Structure 1
């Protein structure tokens, strides 16, 4: 919480309701994703679009894809030395979530919303939302996102 602020951390179910209504610190989630998705379709050589599930399923291959996308592919020597695997290790959920800076404190969004940094790191597992929200909450979220992305070709 910021000094002088009377805001307290927002409850998860309240944050989910706001999210489903398109209320978030940076605007509706689906608008941002659709903008990038459309740009990816229009300019695939300039816009890379990755989903968490893709990253989690083969992180080393994603690191190679990123290196190639930025026109700095790994050399044969770097591949031999395991550099892509080391990049994955250094950028891993365990490594990043273990940093002291990411474990404690809050992030203030304006004067009325405070989010605990720990909310940004749960388990880093695909499907873990089931441990944090009810089936009804998950269905509501899925329905809203499906409706907002309808006809775009983008699916989550």
Structure 2
């Protein structure tokens, strides 16, 4: 459970409390993604993201931009270059159609990131298409091979690992 410390004490179940206070009929949460783009292309990416999110009628709660340095140490390097990292937090209702719309919006953002020479952060959601994953994480097949080599009994695994293993089976 996500817990946030505030100056008033500990807050947990923020969205459940908010939903209850507002009397909403459909539960919802904020969902996050990070998109990486070439720094000189940030302004163009932001304009295209604005248009795409408006077309999808996505409920953008907030976003953040930060600069990140290249990751040259990990097998599944999340930052293959010095990027501008744009964080998007969308308000998503927990209905099948709303989840589908959110998945489409996040896929659109990933496509935009790719078009602007970038990538996305692998672990926030599982909505990236296989072609997006292969483009942004070309080392995924090798990672899965090495994982099976070093852990043939698959003692160490997670839902995310099983998702990617199935995607590449």
TM-score (norm 1): 0.28
Structure (1 or 2) with the greater helix fraction? 1
TM-score (norm 2): 0.27
Query: Which is bigger in relative contact order (C-alpha 8 A, separation at least 6)?
Result: 1
Structure (1 or 2) with the greater strand fraction? 2
